[in-house]
Structure 1
């Protein structure tokens, strides 16, 4: 009897979990949230035994679920590539891949040792598809370890490694170089933190405990952008990590047994080069009249600077919705969100709820299926279904993503592959 009771409870809970997963799956499909943004799992149903280990292992919650006795990615758009599910699967039924059959993803060719098809040039972090902060930090550390395995000394006047970018991966790689006694140069075209430094003020950042070279373990989980940046600045000060800020790389060319890296501040020679730049590269622009004005920007740093202004936000992803809703919360702000598609896709549920609430209380106006046609000093013109609307405007924030720096990579000789659901 006790065993029978346990079995009944198990079956009831299992069926309830499967109903929840099926509902999640249907809601995601109805909302068009079917395409993962980056690295994600593919489950082989012939191998999966439906044990649920992958569901429980996911740090992001119920991104995976059991449907008809098999594991499925029920909320694809919210998967951010932890990879814990694949590690937890006892049957090796899960493969981690980039892109899908419907939506390809451009990825530079990178080997298991983080080396590209150009010997001596390595890639780690977001550029290689690892946008998650924890994964990027770990890749930066590991890539530096691979570089350190090559014992050949740098040529006179050269360093062991030139690290391009001071985001999570480059930051960790710089610490790794110090730990292993390698000579290094870190160049960053903007500020510490790379893409993270440009997150909106107060944005929650999901990460996980990581071990930083020299410094030790960092026990962050969910924190704010400001707290994370403050921590990184403390690590830099405590360790003496040297970073050349506001120095942008313009070319990388072979130079004997190494490379010459040309920047806006001069040149650096290195035995190896580690690229830890972001995938966004150059912000994607609208290509309309008036876009060159100073009131047009391509990311939101501090919502409060727009208090009391008429603001147009362009885009349909999480960054656009976060920008629009954060400004809409400020008193006397007039915010319009323009998106070219008829519905939002790849948007986190919490952002969708904030958007719907802002629309409902009248603090935010949304114009779907629309395109910006002209920007002038005091107005913007937006076309929707053939009709033109002219709005008063003080600022335009374009959140349309970025263009992968493919041309730059190809100029170095790095092969860029389009992945359609492959590793």
Structure 2
């Protein structure tokens, strides 16, 4: 019987595990992929918008070559945290469901085994679940919701869907590596929240015609060698080799449902939990990290959820003390 099972091995899960270990709790992290799986799927050349100081957790220094760390430096930091604190973690193991035990606590079922625990933390983030465009052909192999390296698109006809940071980064990098880049933008301009050093670059490339952009435009259909767009002037068909659908991401709602965790009936679709204790409607089950924001993925980040681990473990230890 564990004191705490933590679902998710990203920054929030690692944070909660360190808090648990310092409090003397028996804990286990269960991660469906690699350490910091969401960050692992970030573009290879990505640089964080936040400084390394704001990404530090548990007062452990995050040293980077420049003020704003890279993806590689972040992965190294979180790997070193797990090694330094000797955290208990199972990788490549997927949580499938959870049952309440008669005498209190839960049994967490994974694709590799079952675990009994008194408490559970859901720290699954949101980057692992892309938002679907729900259009015909979206399941074709050429449609990618994760952008990695522009080298794959040299000489290719690439449609980038979206106009936020990820879309603009992908469009610029692919263009500079020799791809023929087109953008399909739902709104009438590039997103205002695009990084200040990226926004003028992408706008100037569009203005000079190096990158073609269709505004107020959505994808109607995706085919093997072309794509159909709905534009203000009517549908158009473009030749196409790859589509980078940078349409955003959302929490794993399917997992929430399997765990028995309801979400608010609002546009935000946030999980239902106490904002002071982070405890859900299930006693001893907590939310942590950016998943707490639901679909409002621009509200919570690593830097403003760094206290979640301590809040949760404090609640668990107080409850345990009062029970004795």
In structure 2, relative to structure 1, the CA distance for the partners of 1:188 and 1:207 (3 Å cut) is farther
Q: Contact conserved, 1:159 with 1:271, CA < 8 A, in 2?
A: yes
In structure 1, the residue matched to 2:98 is 252
In structure 2, the residue matched to 1:105 is none
Shift of 1:375: 1.5
Partner SS state of residue 3, structure 2: strand
Taking the aligned partners of 1:375 and 1:181, their CA distance within structure 2 comes to 53
Higher strand fraction (1 or 2): 1
Shift of 1:341: 2.0
Compare CA radii of gyration and give the structure with the larger one: 1
Shift of 1:201: 1.9
Q: Contact conserved, 2:11 with 2:78, CA < 8 A, in 1?
A: no
In structure 2, the residue matched to 1:283 is 130
Shift of 1:315: 1.4
In structure 2, the residue matched to 1:177 is 20
In structure 2, the residue matched to 1:230 is 76
Q: 1:294 aligns with which of 133, 141, 166?
A: 141
Taking the aligned partners of 1:263 and 1:191, their CA distance within structure 2 comes to 16
In structure 2, relative to structure 1, the CA distance for the partners of 1:280 and 1:219 (3 Å cut) is closer
In structure 2, relative to structure 1, the CA distance for the partners of 1:266 and 1:387 (3 Å cut) is same
- State how many pairs are aligned: 262
Q: Which range is displaced more, 356-365 or 308-317?
A: 356-365
In structure 2, relative to structure 1, the CA distance for the partners of 1:254 and 1:281 (3 Å cut) is farther
In structure 1, the residue matched to 2:201 is 354
In structure 2, the residue matched to 1:381 is 228
What pairs with 1:100-111 in structure 2 (closer than 5 Å)? none
| Residue 186 of structure 2 corresponds to residue 343 of structure 1 | no
What pairs with 1:399-410 in structure 2 (closer than 5 Å)? 399-406=246-253, 408-410=255-257
What pairs with 1:54-133 in structure 2 (closer than 5 Å)? none
Q: Kindly provide the CA deviation profile for residues 304-332 of structure 1, in whole angstroms up to 9, marking residues without a partner as x.
A: 222222111111222222221221221x2
In structure 2, the residue matched to 1:164 is 7
Q: 2:33 aligns with which of 171, 174, 190?
A: 190
Q: Kindly provide the CA deviation profile for residues 251-310 of structure 1, in whole angstroms up to 9, marking residues without a partner as x.
A: 122123211112222322211111111135631112222211111111112222222221
Partner SS state of residue 9, structure 2: coil
Unpaired segments of 5 or more residues in structure 1?
Answer: 1-157
In structure 2, relative to structure 1, the CA distance for the partners of 1:419 and 1:296 (3 Å cut) is closer
Q: 1:207 aligns with which of 35, 46, 51?
A: 51
Q: Kindly provide the CA deviation profile for residues 103-143 of structure 1, in whole angstroms up to 9, marking residues without a partner as x.
A: xxxxxxxxxxxxxxxxxxxxxxxxxxxxxxxxxxxxxxxxx
Q: Which runs of 4+ in 1 moved over 6 A?
A: none
Taking the aligned partners of 1:195 and 1:354, their CA distance within structure 2 comes to 27
| Residue 214 of structure 2 corresponds to residue 367 of structure 1 | yes
Partner SS state of residue 171, structure 1: helix
Q: Kindly provide the CA deviation profile for residues 121-178 of structure 1, in whole angstroms up to 9, marking residues without a partner as x.
A: xxxxxxxxxxxxxxxxxxxxxxxxxxxxxxxxxxxxx212111111111122223333
In structure 2, relative to structure 1, the CA distance for the partners of 1:305 and 1:240 (3 Å cut) is farther
| Bigger RCO (CA 8 Å, 6+ sep) | 2
Taking the aligned partners of 1:237 and 1:301, their CA distance within structure 2 comes to 27
Taking the aligned partners of 1:335 and 1:392, their CA distance within structure 2 comes to 11
Shift of 1:397: 1.3
Shift of 1:246: 2.5
